[in-house]
Structure 1
Amino acid sequence: MNASMLSYVLLSCVLLSVQAHNCQVSEIIRNTRNLLNKTQESWSCRETAATPCSCLPIPEPGHELACFVEGTKHMMEHNMTSNKKLFLLNQSFQIQLDRNLCESLTSGKKCKYKTKGTVRTFLEKILKTYQEIHKSRV
């Protein structure tokens, strides 16, 4: 193996290591706060045929990413908000889940929850989860 190839391999390992710990914490916190500021208080969680889209899964520990993917996808499908930030959140969660980028959140590939909540409650759960990750890194 020549020196340039070794340099390439070492750089690739470093980048993969950084990427593995990159949960896009700051970006997710910023986008979630933005959505929370725009969230309507009137959205409620009622499991009726008329408004099933307003109830989102509040994940159990270890199943956060799968539920965050499911919940943000559900919000987009039901036009709960037409916001680029929501699309970016969904995309970030899906990538993190597919690539196991957030080790503390990827133990469950399926959304497991006991309760559902309002859009605000769901977004607050996302914010709290990523704020805890941020605190553990500082």
Structure 2
Amino acid sequence: MLLAVVLASALFLCSSASQGCFTSIGIRNVVYLINNLQKDTSSKCSCSTDVTDCLCLPISSGNCSTACFQEGLSQMSNSTVNARFHLTVNQVKKIVVTLKRNKCGSFACEQPCNRTTTGNTLTFLKTLLESFQNENMRGKV
């Protein structure tokens, strides 16, 4: 898996020079995280109850969710629950930063995180995946 992450990182860096809004590797990495974290009960916990063993991440209700994605990915990378996926989470974090820097679609906003709700790790990742997929479709139009 480490080799796959290193190769994906190299591909991303090479392609990001020519395509500033490249999301395919981000999509692949988020799908990988979702598939592997579905087996982890702490990733599927309920954030609606007051629990201490659940990683509840910010979910933006508006069109500007970049800051929430950055905040949530930072929380994930600092979490010991997801230590096994640290490299993948950090790569996704870098992709979000690159998309913001290159002013790509919905990632171009500069507003702070409008944290109207929180979600567990899987909900957060599914929201991020949807944003990556939307950006990917924008690039193909």
Shift of 1:19: 5.7
2:134 aligns with 132
1:57–1:67 Cα contact (<8 Å) kept: yes
Match of 1:42 in 2: 41
Name the TM-score, length of structure 2 as normaliser.
0.71
| Equivalent pairs, count | 119
- Gapped regions of structure 2 (runs ≥ 5): 1-15
Q: Which runs of 5+ in 1 are unaligned?
A: 1-17
**Residue identity matched to 2:69:** F
Equivalences for residues 57-72 of structure 1 within 5 A? 57-72=58-73
Residue number in structure 2 paired with 1:26:
24
How big is each residue's C-alpha offset from its partner over 1:54-112, in whole Å with a ceiling of 9 and x where there is no partner?
Answer: 11111233322111110011011122312211110112223433x24324322234111
Percent identity, please.
Answer: 25
Q: 1:63 to 1:114 in 2, by over 3 A?
A: same
Q: Which residue number corresponds to residue 78 of structure 2?
A: 77
Distance 1:120 1:70 in 2: 15
Per the alignment, residue 5 of structure 2 pairs with none
8 Å CA contact retained: 1:59, 1:67: yes
Distance 1:63 1:20, change over 3 A: farther
Which amino acid is the alignment partner of residue 119 of structure 2? G
Moved segments of 4+, more than 6 Å: none
* TM-score, length of structure 1 as denominator length: 0.72
1:96 corresponds to which of 77, 99, 109:
99
Aligned alpha-carbon RMSD (Å): 2.4
